[in-house]
Each structure stands twice: as C-alpha cells, then as structure tokens.
C-alpha cells in the first residue's frame, strides 16, 4: 500500500489581490488533511483504476468519470508526467477532513495527495515543484484563473510569501503564532467568487486596482511583522485586510459577525480567509485569549472551529 497525506491551508493575507499580481501569504494547516491510499487490485485487467472518495460519495472506475473530472485529470496528468501510457490495476482511496468550498484548499489538497501517492506507487516519486505545477494545471481547468497559491503552499507544506508567476519565498516566523479558524457554515465556490470579482474589476478597474495595491501593501507590511514577531501589528493588518475584502464585496454578514465577535473576545485581529462569501474566518489569538475566542466563535454560530499553531 502507498499513502500520501497532505495538509489544508489558510491564506493569512492577500487573497483575490494575488490573482492580479499582488503578493499573498499562506500557511499550511495540519489539523486537517487529505489522504490518498493506493493498493494493488488483484485479478483485474491492467489499466483499470478504481477511485473511491467517501466524502463525496464517489466509487467509480476511472474511465467512468466524465472526461473533465478533476480526479481523472489528476491521474492522467501524473501518468503523462511519468511518460507512462498504462498502469497496473489499482484502487485509489481518498479520505479528507477538509470541508469542500470552505477556503481550506480542499481541491488542491486532493490533487497533490493523489499525484504524490500515485507517483510513489509507480516508483517514480515526482519532485515537489512538479507536483505543484501539475496541481496548478488542474486548478486552472476547474477554477478558471487561480493564482497558484493553494497548490504551492499545500505541496511545500511551509509558510510562504507568494507572487503569481514568481518563485515563492519560504517565510521564517520570529515566534509561533496561534490562529483560530472558524467556519461560517456558508459555502461559495472559489470559481464563482473569483469570477464575480473579475466582473466588478472590469467595470471599475481604477477602484479595484487601488484596492489590490492597498492589499499588496498590507501583505508586505505583514511579512515584516511576521518576521519580526510583532503580533499587535499583525492583528491590525488582518483587520485592515478584512476591510479591503469587504470593499471587494467578498465578505458576508456572517463573516463580518464572526470577525467582530473574535475581536471583542480578545483576538488581535480577524479576517475572512480564502475566496470568501462563506468559508472561514481566521483570528490571531494568544495562549491566554485562545479559549475565549473559541467560545465566542461557537456562540456567534460557527459550524466548527479549530486552533492551529504556526511554528517559528
């Protein structure tokens, strides 16, 4: 049996603006993960691949999936990268604790877990940069115009500073940071939110470009605060980034309520994370405020919460 497990992610700063060439900062979240397990299928014809993913009630042979299904693309692009035109019969089992369309990178995590496990199983492990590039191509087919940040942070499993089309930079935090992640329970597909931001940008280019510039500035200031371990400044910058995301019309009343409740409970800052219009908020906590913020998120109607520590 071959197994690969990959984390989820949160975007700390710069979502949406990153699609327009501005920088963003993202970190892996290891409390949630996607796991792909591959076993050989005895007494089965060569080339037959059975795919099972309980969380989306899927159990089908690869050739039965529609031609543009992300899992079909993932397996086919792995084989192409390995220059293989057929495979031994196998069973690919995918399990995930990452909620879909919640801003935690479930789509990219499934792609990376499958292509990592598959290339290992075929005894040609693909280098991380190739895994990330292949997952990016799959994101493009299914998410329109992704920046590439999700596949990169999940493949490298490290905090990073990212500008689309450039080599990412790994970030070193001065001191560990605690984030509370709270799920609004609302769901919005990344492709739809990114598309609607694009339509608004087309209509009001000057305004949107100015907001993206401000987000870029906040992200660069946040990088310095992260590297210097300046938590109060980081919190203030998260609040600023949330306000800019409100101006981009990707927040929602529930996301605003959750961020406000987190601040009142002692969070140093709070913002939505990911595409928005649903999904998660993230709140910067300290050891002494962590439990109060978790309680406040539950009281404000969070579907689930988790506390994650980003190591120094």
Give me the residues that bind ligand MEV (CB under 6 A), please.
Answer: 11, 15-16, 18-19, 146-147, 149-150, 190, 194, 274-275
Q: How far is the CB of 149 from ligand MEV (least distance, A)?
A: 5
- The alpha carbon of 50 is separated from its chain's Cα centroid by a whole number of angstroms, namely 26
User: Considering beta carbons, is residue 99 or 231 the nearer one to ligand MEV?
Assistant: 99
Q: How far is the CB of 180 from ligand MEV (least distance, A)?
A: 19
User: Considering beta carbons, is residue 146 or 278 the nearer one to ligand MEV?
Assistant: 146
Q: How far is the CB of 123 from ligand MEV (least distance, A)?
A: 32
Cα–Cα distance, 103 to 109 (Å, whole number): 12
User: Considering beta carbons, is residue 240 or 273 the nearer one to ligand MEV?
Assistant: 273
Asked whether the beta carbons of 126 and 82 are under 8 A apart, the reply is yes
Q: How far is the CB of 297 from ligand MEV (least distance, A)?
A: 20
User: Considering beta carbons, is residue 194 or 262 the nearer one to ligand MEV?
Assistant: 194
Cα–Cα distance, 18 to 156 (Å, whole number): 18
Tell me the residue ranges of DSSP E strands in 107-226. Answer: 160-162, 169-170, 177-183
User: Considering beta carbons, is residue 18 or 115 the nearer one to ligand MEV?
Assistant: 18
β-pairing verdict for 90-96 and 49-53: parallel
> Nearest CA to 146 among 98, 105, 110?
105
Angle between helices 128-143 and 149-156 (to 10 degrees): 150
Q: How far is the CB of 278 from ligand MEV (least distance, A)?
A: 12
150, 174, 239, 292: the active-site residue: 150
Cα–Cα distance, 102 to 277 (Å, whole number): 10
Tell me the residue ranges of DSSP E strands in the chain. Answer: 2-13, 24-40, 49-53, 58-61, 90-96, 160-162, 169-170, 177-183, 269-273, 280-285, 305-310
Residue 239: active-site member = no
The token pair that represents 130 in the structure block: 């190739």
Query: Active-site residue numbers?
Result: 150
């Amino acid at each position: 049996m071959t197994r690969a497990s990959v984390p989820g992610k949160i975007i700390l700063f710069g979502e949406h603006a990153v699609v327009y060439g501005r920088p963003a900062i993202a970190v892996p979240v290891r409390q949630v993960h996607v796991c792909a397990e591959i076993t050989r299928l005895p007494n089965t014809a060569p080339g037959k691949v059975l795919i099972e993913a309980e969380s989306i009630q899927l159990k089908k042979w690869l050739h039965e999936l529609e031609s543009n299904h992300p899992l079909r693309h993932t397996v086919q692009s792995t084989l192409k990268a390995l220059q293989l035109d057929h495979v031994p019969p196998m069973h690919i089992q995918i399990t995930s604790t990452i909620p879909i369309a919640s801003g935690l990178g479930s789509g990219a995590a499934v792609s990376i877990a499958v292509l990592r496990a598959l290339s290992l199983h075929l005894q040609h492990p693909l280098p991380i940069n190739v895994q990330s590039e292949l997952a990016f191509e799959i994101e493009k087919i299914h998410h329109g115009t992704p920046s590439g940040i999700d596949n990169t942070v999940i493949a490298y499993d490290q905090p990073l500073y990212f500008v689309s089309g450039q080599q990412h930079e790994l970030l070193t935090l001065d001191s560990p940071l605690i984030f509370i992640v709270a799920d609004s329970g609302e769901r919005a597909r990344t492709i739809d939110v990114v598309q609607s931001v694009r339509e608004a940008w087309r209509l009001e280019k000057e305004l949107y470009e100015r907001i993206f510039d401000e987000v870029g500035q906040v992200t660069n200031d946040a990088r310095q605060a992260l590297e210097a371990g300046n938590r109060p400044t980081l919190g203030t910058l998260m609040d600023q980034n949330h306000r800019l995301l409100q101006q981009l019309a990707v927040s929602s009343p529930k996301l605003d309520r959750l961020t406000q409740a987190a601040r009142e409970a002692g969070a140093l800052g709070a913002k939505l994370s990911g595409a928005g219009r649903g999904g998660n908020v993230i709140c910067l906590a300290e050891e002494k405020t962590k439990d109060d913020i978790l309680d406040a998120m539950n009281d404000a109607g969070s579907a689930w919460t988790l506390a994650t520590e980003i190591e120094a």
